[in-house]
Amino acid sequence: MKFVAFERNTQGTGASRRLRNSGRTPAIVFGGEQQPISIELDHNALWHAVHKESFHASVLDMELGGAVHKVLLRDVQYHPFKPLVLHVDFQRVDDKTRLHKKVPLHFINADTSPAVKIDRCTVNHVLTEVEIECLAIQLPEFIEVDLGQAVKGQAIHANDLKLPVGVKLVTHGKPNPTLATLVEPVEEVIIAPVASAAGDKKAKKKK
């Protein structure tokens, strides 16, 4: 995914406020052997980009000053109640940069699994993303979790994942975290209302 950035010469709270009022968003690029660079982005284009999964979980091509730089999105600051991005942080990377990054999980084939198709189970997503370690060139945009063979009551764990080559799961001491469970449907039992003793007496008097 590619985006365009512009060098930013003014800094400070007041300058950032004026920049946002003009439809631009302040940002910074750090990492590598170069010094951090202050940049600015078109807010409208940025707003559309931050709503795309690939913008958050893949190496990006940043065009700046006629050159293209490989960067990774590291942080996005949003306004607490306005549809506004306040600031963005990017990290410079190359193919040999070793990364720790959270990537989304894509659960596939649930509808055709025995658990859902036959037993009408519900998929309970315990985790929607996992942290991985890999080289920048090996970073996957997402990791698929195939539920095609899942059965009633089954729990899908991290060890069930088929990770891409060179990608290692980071679990922070948890040996085999649960990703999803197949929950059996709960059958509702309808109990007929029982007339109260007082109601029975009234009914007898009317007779």
Give the model confidence (pLDDT) of 129-159 as tens digits. 999 999 999 999 999 999 999 999 999 999 9
201 pLDDT higher than 90 = no
Q: What average pLDDT does range 27-41 have in this prediction?
A: 92
Task: Report pLDDT for 194.
Answer: 66
97 pLDDT higher than 90 = yes
The model scores a pTM over 0.95 = no
Interstrand relation of 168-170 and 98-108 (parallel, antiparallel or unpaired):
unpaired
Domain boundaries, the chain: 2-94, 99-183
Task: Report pLDDT for 55.
Answer: 95
Distances (CA, A) of 34 to 68, 91, 116, 135, 137: 15, 11, 52, 20, 20
In CATH, what number does 2-94 get? 2.40.240.10
What's 174's DSSP letter? -
Task: Report pLDDT for 198.
Answer: 54
Q: For the chain, how many residues are written? A: 207
189 pLDDT higher than 80 = no
Strands (E), 43-192: 60-64, 67-78, 85-92, 98-108, 122-125, 129-135, 143-146, 155-157, 168-170, 178-183
**Per-residue tokens: 133:** 């370690």
In CATH, what number does 99-183 get? 2.170.120.20
